[in-house]
Structure 1
């Protein structure tokens, strides 16, 4: 699950760092002087404009920040705060420790430390969230003031991410197949969409989306074949999830495919289109308005990119409904 990173930014150093390496992102050319070719290639894939919003924290007194920084992972959301409000957020893409890079970007503080525990951000958004709204969302006292770098536990993070719509659909936490299976086992006997299920079930969705999109910003709809930003694509089950056995749910490489929110997901889920031997077909059992018929005709007979011998049985189940 994604976590929230609290990053107060009201002092002089933090304000300057925000202006110099977030508002004015660091050119990859500068980073390439310090980082490996493999890391630079990773960053180029995430930042096609080759401008990288960059942040870092010092080890802190008695290395207090090191363990906190160690908890950070891809998909976590940093919230920047100052003057009684959260003013910006960014999603973690990658992290690394590099004292030389940090010194180049930010120099050293008065205690001789530099901000060597570095992480790179994307999806920078501006906000104006008063502390009192943040505090009530997370369950803190109204007069709580964000002080010091911190990484919140998952339960508190979930409240913030949901309350202020901060979660990324592109950068997702790393979830192992074992964690995915555990998630399925936890809910298979009571798979209702209550609040608890919605919160914890996001681990399952994050896993499936990561398998399909792999932190890419653009993907292809498996039905219409059109390319879209991934926030306009869903990880759709070919066979309705509620009808899947546990083994079928675990067959995630074959039972899930990307479908666009611009029509294909609903058309497929509600049975207006089916897939037969790899071709998109109109369902003759359904009634169509003229506009719906026009929409379906545009994709009818197209090749389904995800039809193969491994997915065939799931498409056949869907066709028989």
Structure 2
């Protein structure tokens, strides 16, 4: 169960049993969680709708914050993914979700402090206790107040670690820019590593730099100002090295820029005249101090 929530399930497995929108998959995969049917679980499952924010509480020290993309009741899919329990039941009340954040927090103290049963496995907008509401007012505020505890632990895959970093740092939070700046500075200090250590947690340097550059550049192409919204409502832009690493460029935010796919391809694949056109625009905007020597 934990594995399918963190590491995703391939579309080819899911499509044998249920059909969900193509736009919900990311690289043909999606995060999946399920509940065994029973009066309490069925009540919980029925309350939630696509778009709801849900905190899964699957283990002693991790809270996994997700957005529900879809839900389906399907015994055959659940049996394929997770098998059956000792009573012959399976986790057929299925959620398809997007991971927004993974927070390191003691499960027992968290549930006890906020008035939940220690047996609770999920908490969301449709199940907030008075204690939770008085402390955080909403799930969104809970996420924002735990930004500094939110980077995934080192045993997570690169894909999930990058996803969590970018989702967390992309949130509309007053603390985000300050936190992102601090992570960038930490990444620059540890510039000989692919990963950096922050509070004992391992984060990919590239994920930090990409998130920082997108925020700095306002999620728009710095050459033509183009961006567009993806099906999930997020702005799409790519991050490129201005001077390629293969040509001696530095792996540094000052040598990185947001570009639309078209301008990115011009910079990477264009002939000398096309590349010069892109470089001249970036020079005129004062990007990358090392460009002035070119």
Q: TM-score, normalised by structure 2?
A: 0.44
In our comparison, the structure showing a higher alpha carbon Rg is: 1
Q: Compare relative contact order (CA 8 Å, sep 6+) and give the higher one, 1 or 2.
A: 1
Q: TM-score, normalised by structure 1?
A: 0.41
